[in-house]
Structure 1
Amino acid sequence: MRVDLNISGQNTINIQQFGSIIILDLNLHIIGISENALEELKIDHIDHVLDCSLESLGPTIFGKNTNKIHRLIENIKDHVIPRQIIPIKLANKRVYLKLSLHDDQIFIEWEEQFKKYTSAKKINEFSFLLDTIQPNNWHLVCHAINRILHFDHVFVVQIEETGYSHVVAEDTLDGQQYYKDMEFSKSFMPKEVFPFYSMCSYRYSPNLKNNNQKFYTNKQDFILLESQLVPVPELHQIFLSEKGVVSALFFSIHIDGNFWGLLVAHHGKEKNIDLQQRKLCTFAIQNATSKYESYLKQNLLERNEILRTAEVDLKIDLLKSKSVNCALMKHMDIIMDMVDADGFALFNQGDVCFNGICPTKAQLYEIVAFIQAHTEKSLFKDNNFRETHAKKFKGRLPFAGLMYLKVGLLNDQILIWFRKESASKVLNLQLNPLTSEQNTPRIVITESRNKDIAKSWNDIEINFVLTLNQILKESIVSKLKEKQQWNEQVVASNNELEMLTFTLSHDLKNPLSILKIGLQFLQNSKDVLNAVALQKWYSNLIASTESIEEIINNVVSLSQQKGNSLSKEPIPMAYNLQQIFNDSSLLYENKSYEVEYGKLLPIWAEKSALYQIFSNLISNAIKYSTHVTTATLYINSYFEGGQVCYLIQDNGIGIPKENLTQIFEIFKRGSNVKDIEGTGVGLSLVKRIMERLGGSIKIESEINKGTSVYLYFPIVEDFPPSMLAD
């Protein structure tokens, strides 16, 4: 639109000739008026109209319809109705009067009515046409519209993501196709013309050359875009004139609320199309658009169902397969089909698998290296990759566009989809600036062949790739966790085996030593022992062998149960502790060792496990007290917090404070043990067995004063009363 300032200080805008317009502010004062409307008022000077109230000038224009129009304007102003179209008679001429509100401005437009009514035959024919329009069949839509308009050309142009405009359907009076499958370059539909076409359901120009009517306003930068009288954008106006088009209609197509494209109707002669016919066309296009949206949604549902099935199958195979790459190889066909690709490649740590139209292995290595060097994004897509980058690779690339997905942080798992060239004719438009040279054309139209450009990747396809990426990431993380758990299990198994070895070597030492000492004593003294003493020694030897057997059984049980807790029963402790002390005393040369027993409560545990616990602790107490003149051991128990607590207290060498935090670690011993025999395994075993029993251990110690060991055993249920009797 061209805006000039006339000599009276008012802005003027050139608009189309076929109608009239008055624009009011919310106070119903005139802020803009067209030349045709001024002629209706028979007013010679614009200053007599602008800023005047509609109340004073309305009767001159609208006559007996003034009050009716005032009521409609008030309803629109108060948002009772959004807009209104009424057929009325003005100056003995039948017109359509249109009222609407835009940005606090009230538009009053009127144009001549060419048909008083639409015949029943036309309505029936129109209904039949609506019924015949099938989803995703824009050819039938073009044909149906042209049955109403009878224009030379009717075609649908889709505006693609790339900025190119693609003609998807066409209907002509002569049966020839002029634009079908043709593409217009980005210059044909620049972003600045989008509002002109997208904000109205249609745009109408009965004569593209007749844009000489003036619109007057006292406002700066006045925007008339909502009016049907605004001329077609200059670029399209010149292009259509070059093609011999005089009359044109443009119907906007919106899919899911987004400007999708246009249905365009061209005619080589001036042709007036009645408003009713335009509305019928609009209704037909909206009906077709609704069907197309339903088709897309149904297609999306079906596609999503396939996707969900593919995702489930892929997830199952990802769980079953040892590697992500193995699972992907099984699903290469579906992964390629889901993004409508012509080829697909898997790149995994240098290994490559191909499906469909793909580059050579050497080219793929070059492509991966090139993309990695140029972007850190996980997802990269380029529908004209060959056109832009072909010179960087050896040999001709067999594809035009690609989409690249890097899975994970490392560059060892890459998925690449390929699309072949989508060849088409392209019209390029170039608008030349106005010059004084008469022979300079206003527009240069060139036709080229669209090559090395593939079809763009749409939102559905990209969403599938993003979903796939998420599935693969989750699988990779899961497999890393499985690997970590496996490694931990291997380490744990090794530790378990090591602990079993230490347990057997450590805990069998005491009963084996007792057995050895007993056998040696019997061998040397059996002739001088009486029957009672001999029986006692035999009993001790049998008890030692039973202890060995129980320890072995317990170790086997521990290895089988692994992390599970041990089975428990109530065990009386008085006799067991006395027996353990007597056995341990035989191993060390401290004849003056004294033991004092307090209350010895029963324990919910496993018998052989208790033998290992107390045998280790009592042996330690005796062993680390051999240098003390009067060595004493105190064993007591009591209830505390729903547990049985056992205290084993000695007056031995004690444990240095700095060693207490590590004393339960295997092979860790106090720094003051010097040449006292030991491996640093016993307390580690005790702690481990206590944890299997669901209990805990605590040690307090002081150098040269002794050590106190606290053992806490959970109470599974009440002890039998007989066990608690003194």
Structure 2
Amino acid sequence: MRIIECHEEKIHLSGQIQDLGFLLVFDMHQCVAASEKTLLPGLSFSTIIGASFADIMAVLLPSVGVEQIESKIDDQIFYRYVERIRLFEQEYFLSIYRYDGKIYVETELALQERVQTTRLYYYAKYISDRGHQNNWQSLTELIRDIIGYDRVMVYQFLEDEGGQVIAESKLQDKESFLGYRYPEFDIPKQARELYKVFHARHTADVDAPVHGIVGLKKEDVDLSRTSIRAMSPIHLQYIRNSGAKASASFSIIIDGELWGLVTCQHYEARHVDLSQRHLCVFLTQYAVNNYLAGKQKEMSIFREAIATMEGELKTQLLVNRGQFNILEQYGSQIMNFMSADGVIIRHDQGLKQYGDVPSLEQIVQIDRQINATNYNSMYVTHQFVDNEKEQAAKFPGVIRLDVLPQSNWYIYAFRKERIVNEVWAGKPEKIHHTDDSKGITSFSPRTSFDAWIRTTAGKSEEWKDSEVNFLKDIGLLVQRAIAQRGGEIEELNKELIRSNNALETFSYTLMHDLKNPLTSIQLSAQLIASKKDLSEERRLKMAENIIEGSKLITEMMDKVYKISSGTHVKFEFETIDPEPKILGIIEDSMQRYKVPNLRYKVKDCLPIWGERTLVYQLFLNLVGNAIKYSSKESQPEIEISSKLEDDMICYIIRDNGIGMDLSANHNIFEIFKRMPNTGEFEGSGIGLSIVKRIADKLDAQISVESKLGSGTTFFVCFKHNRR
């Protein structure tokens, strides 16, 4: 005996249409199928099969060209061509569309009362003004107003694939089905898939005759998108058993999935024409958008509250030690956000509980059962069973998050049992009918829709994804804070090494860069002391040298110390004319390195944007090096000039000194790095490393060209305008 389940029924290949109009199917050349009793002016049924699409359109739409129709049905936006036409003194809606490699032409009766499109604004406003809390109720009221049915319901699919009525508008004398549950087999799988493809279905009269399709085989005519497709016999009987004679439904699609249905029942035969169905589909989608907008707003408020709590928790974890105690301060908030009856935060140092929670003995049993499963850091259930006692637990809703498993640090959330009296529209049981002559047992529609109550126990309210994800975020937040604290210790060790190195660099920098101003002060003081006949002008000049040198020493010590120690320094940038400083550096260096015969040129010195002390130190090292390393030449020469290149002002410091061999890939800017040919010159190898650091602070670019024995040229390019 073969059992045929209802989900095996190929409802899209029913091969029948309702007694509302007719259907024609065309391939590329001719009409290949037509519904029985198709009537067209001037054509007999026998001549319709085989007629061309153009011939049929000449009868149905004589004023419209075939090319215009085909362009419409090929359009990605308007894939259907719809017109209101008149045949045999009756008004019909004519729909033309492509599907399954064919062209479908269907007609259906149009009601005399036309849909008022001017009401559309008020319909939409009605849904919006009542808010998303009344979203589905508002939709049922509007659709009932449009189609005039006795009952309109919103039916939401649940996780068990059954459904529940969550909104209803009806005649006052009719029993309410609000809150009623329906089993998943009432709407089989293939029907749900069809609702995702085509969003409006209706049956005008369950007892009206239906018409078969002549031409192609029944299996070859896919009626998935045909508005007047006849319902399957099982579905028609189901509607009859419910007491209704007409039915309509509109799909509620959310994120590409069938979220629910607007189901409509009328206790007399009643046709819902194409314009009414289109309006209902539009309003259903509008209600979906309104619902999603409301949910998004609620979620934003929820996330904002969570973000505030998580931000505070993160700050506490990073600033303070003792993460266990800090997390415990937020236990009550975690319980509220989770909508839990109780929460436990447990670690090696003990545990703290909030609200109603299981006993310690029960926690041990819960842990034992959880550890026996293959969970991954988080265990979630809403129907925990106590295996030891073989009964439902008092807290069937259990979440355990492993915050730090190696430390036995866990967060538990609990929900109590929620006993629910579910009201079902009839007892949810499959009924089968056996045909002994054919050896087939098939599904039989339910005959009773009287309220049937089932009590469910041993379960809690299910955990929402947002609640589970929130607890996961808390765990990640704690883990990251601990990791960051560990990283901070490592960084502190690195900082200690860096500080020690910086202290050594600081010492060398002071010794290096202070030599010039100290030499200037020393020479000026010696001159004043040794020469009694100095003119007043010369004496004032020497005094100015001493004051200027002292000022430079003070500023340089302060800046070099802050840079070396890593302290944030706020440099005050300004437009600087470096020429006077460069000339002063040349004069001091000639005395320091004893180069009275130095020939130098300073020309075209353009103003630069920088910090006064840093600019001085940069030129002090570059110009001083140029003079030092050319001092042993028979005719020492240096030249300093500048030029504008794009948005940069580039200074060129050229000398005819000993030069460098740059082919060996020496990093001349590395601290304490001296070139092999500099042994006979004083120095520690720190000058150019200071230059590089200063260039970085000034956001300047530095490069060098040199050849051993033929002098060196440095290029320093400053941003033209940094203001």
Match of 2:92 among 90, 95, 113: 95
Amino acid at match of 2:69: I
**CA, structure 1 residues 364+12, in 2 after alignment: closer, same or farther (shift >3 Å)?**
closer
Give the match for residue 473 of structure 1.
479
Match of 1:567 among 500, 507, 512: 507
In the TM superposition, 1:318-467 aligns within 5 A as 318-349=317-348, 351-383=350-382, 385-386=383-384, 389-392=385-388, 397-408=393-404, 410=406, 412-420=408-416, 421=418, 423-425=420-422, 427=424, 429-436=428-435, 442-444=444-446, 448-467=454-473
**CA, structure 1 residues 411+79, in 2 after alignment: closer, same or farther (shift >3 Å)?**
farther
**CA, structure 1 residues 213+312, in 2 after alignment: closer, same or farther (shift >3 Å)?**
same
Give the match for residue 281 of structure 1.
280
Query: Once the 2 structures are TM-superposed, how far is the Cα of residue 148 of structure 1 from its aligned partner?
Result: 3.0
CA distance in 2, matches of 1:246, 1:136: 32
Give the match for residue 615 of structure 1.
none
**CA, structure 1 residues 320+3, in 2 after alignment: closer, same or farther (shift >3 Å)?**
closer
**CA, structure 1 residues 112+358, in 2 after alignment: closer, same or farther (shift >3 Å)?**
same
Say whether the 8 Å CA contact 1:380–1:405 is kept in structure 2: yes
Say whether the 8 Å CA contact 2:25–2:32 is kept in structure 1: yes
Say whether the 8 Å CA contact 2:124–2:286 is kept in structure 1: no
**CA, structure 1 residues 293+364, in 2 after alignment: closer, same or farther (shift >3 Å)?**
same
Root mean square deviation, CA, Å: 4.6
The alignment partner of 2:507 has SS state of coil
CA distance in 2, matches of 1:163, 1:461: 22
Say whether the 8 Å CA contact 1:82–1:100 is kept in structure 2: yes
**CA, structure 1 residues 211+312, in 2 after alignment: closer, same or farther (shift >3 Å)?**
farther
Give the match for residue 552 of structure 2.
none
User: Cα deviations across residues 491-518 of structure 1 (Å, max 9, x unaligned)?
Assistant: x99xx9xxxxxxxxxxxxxxxxxxxxxx
CA distance in 2, matches of 1:369, 1:41: 83
Give the match for residue 68 of structure 1.
64
Query: Once the 2 structures are TM-superposed, how far is the Cα of residue 431 of structure 1 from its aligned partner?
Result: 3.8
Query: Once the 2 structures are TM-superposed, how far is the Cα of residue 374 of structure 1 from its aligned partner?
Result: 0.9
Give the match for residue 618 of structure 2.
none
Amino acid at match of 2:161: G
In the TM superposition, 1:450-529 aligns within 5 A as 450-481=456-487
CA distance in 2, matches of 1:317, 1:215: 74
**CA, structure 1 residues 194+358, in 2 after alignment: closer, same or farther (shift >3 Å)?**
farther
Say whether the 8 Å CA contact 2:313–2:327 is kept in structure 1: yes
Say whether the 8 Å CA contact 1:154–1:263 is kept in structure 2: yes
Query: Once the 2 structures are TM-superposed, how far is the Cα of residue 156 of structure 1 from its aligned partner?
Result: 1.0
Say whether the 8 Å CA contact 1:163–1:189 is kept in structure 2: no
Query: Once the 2 structures are TM-superposed, how far is the Cα of residue 52 of structure 1 from its aligned partner?
Result: 4.1
Match of 2:79 among 69, 82, 95: 82
In the TM superposition, 1:1-400 aligns within 5 A as 13-25=15-27, 27=28, 29-37=30-38, 43=44, 49-50=48-49, 52-59=51-58, 62=60, 65-68=61-64, 70-79=66-75, 81-118=78-115, 129-130=126-127, 133-137=130-134, 138-174=136-172, 178-210=176-208, 212-218=210-216, 220-232=219-231, 236-349=235-348, 351-383=350-382, 385-386=383-384, 389-392=385-388, 397-400=393-396
CA distance in 1, matches of 2:186, 2:40: 37
CA distance in 2, matches of 1:13, 1:149: 27
Query: Once the 2 structures are TM-superposed, how far is the Cα of residue 130 of structure 1 from its aligned partner?
Result: 4.8
Query: Once the 2 structures are TM-superposed, how far is the Cα of residue 225 of structure 1 from its aligned partner?
Result: 0.9
Relative contact order (alpha carbons < 8 A, sep ≥ 6): 1 or 2 greater?
2
CA distance in 1, matches of 2:271, 2:54: 33
The alignment partner of 2:185 has SS state of coil
Say whether the 8 Å CA contact 2:14–2:223 is kept in structure 1: no
TM-score normalised by length of structure 2:
0.61
Query: Once the 2 structures are TM-superposed, how far is the Cα of residue 247 of structure 1 from its aligned partner?
Result: 1.0
The alignment partner of 1:114 has SS state of coil
Extract unaligned runs of 5+ from structure 1. 5-10, 497-557, 572-641, 643-692, 697-711, 720-726
CA distance in 2, matches of 1:42, 1:464: 69
Identity of aligned residues (%): 20
Say whether the 8 Å CA contact 2:24–2:33 is kept in structure 1: yes
Amino acid at match of 2:20: F
The alignment partner of 1:213 has SS state of strand
Say whether the 8 Å CA contact 1:350–1:412 is kept in structure 2: no
CA distance in 2, matches of 1:400, 1:235: 40
User: Cα deviations across residues 642-689 of structure 1 (Å, max 9, x unaligned)?
Assistant: 9xxxxxxxxxxxxxxxxxxxxxxxxxxxxxxxxxxxxxxxxxxxxxxx
Amino acid at match of 1:478: Q
Query: Once the 2 structures are TM-superposed, how far is the Cα of residue 112 of structure 1 from its aligned partner?
Result: 0.8
Give the match for residue 548 of structure 1.
none
Query: Once the 2 structures are TM-superposed, how far is the Cα of residue 296 of structure 1 from its aligned partner?
Result: 1.6
**CA, structure 1 residues 718+104, in 2 after alignment: closer, same or farther (shift >3 Å)?**
closer
**CA, structure 1 residues 105+121, in 2 after alignment: closer, same or farther (shift >3 Å)?**
closer
CA distance in 2, matches of 1:96, 1:51: 23
Amino acid at match of 1:198: K
Amino acid at match of 2:445: I
In the TM superposition, 1:620-699 aligns within 5 A as none
Count of aligned residue pairs for this structure pair: 513
TM-score normalised by length of structure 1:
0.60
Amino acid at match of 2:212: K
Query: Once the 2 structures are TM-superposed, how far is the Cα of residue 155 of structure 1 from its aligned partner?
Result: 1.4
CA distance in 2, matches of 1:410, 1:431: 51
Query: Once the 2 structures are TM-superposed, how far is the Cα of residue 33 of structure 1 from its aligned partner?
Result: 2.2
Amino acid at match of 1:14: Q
Say whether the 8 Å CA contact 1:165–1:189 is kept in structure 2: no
**CA, structure 1 residues 396+454, in 2 after alignment: closer, same or farther (shift >3 Å)?**
closer
**CA, structure 1 residues 123+305, in 2 after alignment: closer, same or farther (shift >3 Å)?**
closer
Extract unaligned runs of 5+ from structure 2. 1-7, 513-624, 626-669, 674-682, 691-723
Say whether the 8 Å CA contact 2:671–2:689 is kept in structure 1: no
Say whether the 8 Å CA contact 2:671–2:688 is kept in structure 1: no
Query: Once the 2 structures are TM-superposed, how far is the Cα of residue 158 of structure 1 from its aligned partner?
Result: 1.5
CA distance in 1, matches of 2:393, 2:15: 54
Query: Once the 2 structures are TM-superposed, how far is the Cα of residue 419 of structure 1 from its aligned partner?
Result: 3.5
Say whether the 8 Å CA contact 1:12–1:216 is kept in structure 2: no
**CA, structure 1 residues 272+406, in 2 after alignment: closer, same or farther (shift >3 Å)?**
same
**CA, structure 1 residues 70+390, in 2 after alignment: closer, same or farther (shift >3 Å)?**
farther
CA distance in 1, matches of 2:342, 2:289: 34
**CA, structure 1 residues 718+245, in 2 after alignment: closer, same or farther (shift >3 Å)?**
closer
User: Cα deviations across residues 26-65 of structure 1 (Å, max 9, x unaligned)?
Assistant: x2532332224268887566xx655542234445x52xx2
CA distance in 1, matches of 2:338, 2:294: 19
The alignment partner of 1:435 has SS state of strand
CA distance in 2, matches of 1:325, 1:176: 59
The alignment partner of 1:358 has SS state of coil
Question: Comparing 148-157 with 236-245, which one deviates more in the overlay?
Answer: 236-245
CA distance in 2, matches of 1:277, 1:114: 9
